[in-house]
Amino acid sequence: MTRVLRDSYNRTIRDLRVSLTDRCNFRCFYCLPHGEPPIAPKEQMLSYEEIEYACDVFVELGIQKIRLTGGEPMMRRDIEQIIYKLAQLRDRGLEDLALTTNGYFLPHRAESLKQAGLDRITISLDSLKRDVFKQMTGVDVLERVLEGIQAAKNAGLEPIKINAVIVRGHNEDEVADFAAFAREHDVKMRFIEFMPLDAGHDWSREDVVAGREIRERIEERFPLVPVDEVRGSNTSSRFRFADGAPGEIGIIAPVTEAFCGACSRIRLTSDGQIRTCLFSAVEYSLRDVIREGASRQELIDFIEGVVMKKEPRHFINDPGFVAPSRTMSFIGG
Ligand code: SAM
């Protein structure tokens, strides 16, 4: 009988995000505005054998989707090896192995990711204008990321999703242009509300462009039709183009339209901490349990116990909300 991880609110946990490193070669102002905070020493990071072992146990417990993220996961030199090992978990119930990247390394390595066994890829792209891209990410590499998207397509890492964080005063005027990009390149364009997960703690509600406004901006140019009647555990509300053009739109609105009730996710940080919510104030060290020599059954008991503590929802909109001390680059977006 296949096992299922369930939390105390009866939500089924099927989706694991694994951060491979805290390091990043970009300096997105909404994530790492003041450069990289001190990163964990190497001995605190999970080795690829530990990642593989932990994922093996998670899959036994019913995890069906694994997404590798970071920091910038492609800064980890052994990423192909990790992907190769995790791809073997398909025989044990893994259905989907994906990666989120800033795209910088893709022109040369998309093909090797595919060969290692990666199913699909999500690439961050916050602007189609060179100057805005540089201002938002801290690096002048728009052309290279666009090449990376093409390389991912050529390698067959599809369906390709493109993530853009929309921040007031920076790129909200590009929303419809991004939709045009999705149509032209047949990709799934996903717009993300700015969340209070920036290292600078400069987030303010006025900077958030609400999902509803994003949809209106797109529909001024391209009428949309909802794809799903019910969103289920998907993070995004999905739309297709009413005129039948290729491409898809996803709107991820955790601030203005929280979707915690159907959350199916947990996270493992690169230093081996389990986080049960992006906004968790506490973490649970799976690394310590593994390194203390726990048996497989003890590891299973630990994971099941942690999942039972998953928060009912995030508290961004409550008075007194305190942003987590770790930024998105540490948590694994
Ligand atoms: N380095 C990879 C990348 O750029 O996609 C993976 C890690 S990054 C932390 C994952 C996603 O989180 C990116 O799409 C990024 O734009 C998003 N992100 C980071 N900080 C965010 C914030 N404060 N609000 C919303 N999204 C954020």
pLDDT in tens, 16-33: 999 999 999 999 999 987
> Which residue's CA is the closest to the ligand 1 atom numbered 17?
333
CA of 91 to the centre of ligand 1 (A): 31
Average pLDDT over residues 22-50: 88
Res. 200: pLDDT tops 70? yes
Q: Residue 27 and residue 10: Cα distance in Å, rounded?
A: 38
Q: What band does 230 get if pLDDT is binned at 50, 70 and 90?
A: confident
Res. 40: pLDDT tops 90? no
CA of 333 to the centre of ligand 1 (A): 5
Q: What band does 34 get if pLDDT is binned at 50, 70 and 90?
A: confident
Tokens of 214: 């994003």
CA of 328 to the centre of ligand 1 (A): 6
Average pLDDT over residues 187-207: 92
Q: What is the DSSP string of 174-214?
A: GHHHHHHHHHHHT-EEEEEE--S--TT----GGGB--HHHH
What is the pLDDT, as a whole number, of residue 321? 84
Res. 14: pLDDT tops 90? yes
User: pLDDT tens for residues 127-158?
Assistant: 999 999 999 999 999 999 999 999 999 999 99
Tell me the average pLDDT of the chain.
94
Tokens of 108: 């040369």
Tokens of 204: 């303010």
Average pLDDT over residues 99-128: 98
CA of 90 to the centre of ligand 1 (A): 27
Instruction: Sort strands 12-13 and 15-19 into parallel, antiparallel or unpaired.
Output: unpaired
CA of 31 to the centre of ligand 1 (A): 7
Angstrom CA distances, 236 to 4, 23, 104, 133, 192, stand at 23, 27, 25, 23, 9
Tokens of 128: 């189609």
**Residue linked to tokens 């990009």:** 181
Q: What band does 229 get if pLDDT is binned at 50, 70 and 90?
A: confident
**Residue linked to tokens 């999970």:** 46
Asked if residue 32 lies in contact with residue 329, where contact means CB atoms within 8 angstroms, the answer is: yes
CA of 229 to the centre of ligand 1 (A): 27
Helix 79-87 vs helix 48-60: angle between axes, to the nearest 10 degrees? 30
Closest alpha carbon to 59 in 104, 4, 102, 101: 4
Q: What band does 217 get if pLDDT is binned at 50, 70 and 90?
A: very high
What is the pLDDT, as a whole number, of residue 61? 98
Q: What band does 1 get if pLDDT is binned at 50, 70 and 90?
A: low
Q: Residue 286 and residue 272: Cα distance in Å, rounded?
A: 6
Ligand 1 pocket at CB < 6 A? 24, 30-31, 69-70, 72, 100-102, 124, 163, 165, 192, 194-195, 197-198, 328-329, 333
Its pTM surpasses 0.85: yes
Q: Residue 290 and residue 330: Cα distance in Å, rounded?
A: 20
Mutational test site, ligand 1, from 165, 178, 326, max ligand atoms within 8 Å of CB: 165
CA of 323 to the centre of ligand 1 (A): 16
**Residue linked to tokens 């049960």:** 276
Res. 320: pLDDT tops 70? yes
Report how far apart the first and last C-alpha atoms of the chain are (Å, whole number). Answer: 32
> Which residue's CA is the closest to the ligand 1 atom numbered 7?
70
Tokens of 270: 């690169």
Sign (positive/negative) of CA torsion 267, 324, 214, 138? negative
Which atom of ligand 1 is closest in space to residue 198's alpha carbon? Answer: 23
